[in-house]
């Protein structure tokens, strides 16, 4: 097991190369440690393409909102703090494939309760976008998006339900104009 000086670890954390600080001169090989270190650095770089890693670290360290998520109260299997920790551990693809992220309602309770005003809702929104790009989103979300592109609306109101409630028909919507604008923007 290699032994490191604190100064060596700090130098690595500050971006110095292992040979530059003399890690190649250790009696016990540090190669396995450096492989893991470089893999984690690669994970952080990949994560930084989509998220503010320093905010994720701060969020993971705090966990003040841990017991405030309304979804967690109903479904204890949903643990958003564990998802943030998994991201920081370099398991972005696993988090996206798992599907737990879709349980976040983006209600912003976490942000309201966060002493740093970070919250996790924006992180989960970004995760959902990444999941859709990767093709790992729920079919219902993909179908709703396709319907929106086609018609400019997420669905049609149920006229029978409106009549039952004593309501008249809805005025003409602008969905067709939205759909036309979306088609023109694709051309």
pLDDT value at residue 174: 76
Q: What pLDDT was estimated at residue 163?
A: 87
Cβ–Cβ under 8 Å, residues 85 and 60: yes
Percent of the chain at pLDDT > 70 equals 100
Q: Which DSSP string corresponds to the chain? A: -----HHHHHHHHTT--TTTTTGGG-SS--HHHHHHHHHHHHHHHHHHTTS-HHHHHHHHHH-TTTTT-HHHHH-TT--HHHHHHHHHTT-HHHHHHH-GGGG-----HHHHH-TTS--SHHHHHHHHHHHHHTT-S-HHHHHHHHHHHHHSSS----HHHHHHTT--PPPP-SHHHHHHHHHHHH-
Between 25-29, 65-69, 112-116, 154-158, the lowest mean confidence (pLDDT) is in 154-158
* pLDDT mean across residues, the chain: 88
Mean per-residue pLDDT, 51-60: 91
Backbone Cα Rg of the chain:
24
pLDDT surpasses 80 at 89: yes
Handedness of CA 9, 10, 15, 18 (dihedral sign): negative
Residue 187 has pLDDT above 80, yes or no: no
pLDDT tier at 123, thresholds 50, 70, 90: very high
Domain boundaries, the chain: 1-49, 51-137, 139-186
124-178 pLDDT, tens digit per residue, is 999 999 999 999 999 988 888 888 888 888 777 788 888 898 988 877 777 778 8
Give the pLDDT score at 186: 79
């Amino acid at each position: 097991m290699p032994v490191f000086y604190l100064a060596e670890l700090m130098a690595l954390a500050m971006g110095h190369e292992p040979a530059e600080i003399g890690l190649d001169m250790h009696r016990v090989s540090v190669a396995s440690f450096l492989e893991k270190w470089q893999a984690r650095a690669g994970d952080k770089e990949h994560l930084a393409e989509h998220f503010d890693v320093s905010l994720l670290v701060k969020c993971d360290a705090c966990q003040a909102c841990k017991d405030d998520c309304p979804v967690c109260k109903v479904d204890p299997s949903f643990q958003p703090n564990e998802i943030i920790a998994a991201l920081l551990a370099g398991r972005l693809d696993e988090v996206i494939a798992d599907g737990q992220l879709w349980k976040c309602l983006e209600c912003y309770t976490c942000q309201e309760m966060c002493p740093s005003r970070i919250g996790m809702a924006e992180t989960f929104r970004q995760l959902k976008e990444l999941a859709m790009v990767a093709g790992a989103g729920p079919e219902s979300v993909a179908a709703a998006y396709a319907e929106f592109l086609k018609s400019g609306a997420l669905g049609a109101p149920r006229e029978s339900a409106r009549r039952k409630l004593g309501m008249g028909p809805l005025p003409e919507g602008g969905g067709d104009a939205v759909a036309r604008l979306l088609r023109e923007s694709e051309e």
